[in-house]
Amino acid sequence: MGTSSGLVLEVWDFLRGLLRDLPDVFRKPVVRRPARLASRPGSGDPARALFDARVRHWSAAMGVSPRRVFLKNQRTLWGSCSSRGNLNFNRALADAPPEVVDYVVIHELAHLKEMNHSSRFWAVVGSWCPEQKQSRLWLRQNASWLQRRPLPKDLA
């Protein structure tokens, strides 16, 4: 019995040494769960349904997984991505053409790959949205129109 317990202690010491010397090998992988979309079946919020569908579609295509998706009534931003992987979208964007909505969704999902606006980031956006420049131009030209649109009474 003494020799087997000695062997066990040697194995434990060996494994502790590996853990100390090679921490990256033993680090638990970060697993991103699919985004928890806040809509509920039959919730009746068409903006929520739109963004849920587009985020679900593009995140699967791009191979990324946002944590949560929020809709907000922002004044200056169309979308944002937090360092924790949460996406925020401006509710007013729901009235934009579908290709513009897709551009903003792709833009924010691209931040899950590149958390900056570097050339690598724009390459990711461009690979999924070749018409990004037209969508950005549309947003600049129509921003005030989108922001003036009245909110539904239950969201105002």
Render pLDDT for 3-59 as a digit per residue (tens, 0 to 9). 677 888 888 888 788 778 777 666 655 555 555 554 444 457 899 999 999 999 999
Residue 88 host element (H or E): strand 87-90
Strands 79-81 and 87-90: antiparallel
Q: What share of the chain is helix, strand, coil (3-state, %, to 5)?
A: 55, 10, 35
**What is the pLDDT averaged over residues 99-105?**
96
pLDDT digit string, tens, across residues 31-46: 555 555 544 444 578 9
SS3 for 60-77 is HHHCCCCCEEEEECCCCC
What is the pTM (predicted TM-score) of this model? Answer: 0.70
pLDDT digit string, tens, across residues 107-140: 999 999 999 999 999 999 999 999 999 999 999 9
Asked whether the predicted pLDDT for residue 71 surpasses 90, the reply is yes
Question: In CATH, what class is 36-148?
Answer: alpha beta
pLDDT at residue 39, as a whole number = 44
What are the tokens at 120? Answer: 């690598």
d(CA 54, CA 110) in angstroms, rounded, equals 14
Domain boundaries, the chain: 1-30, 36-148
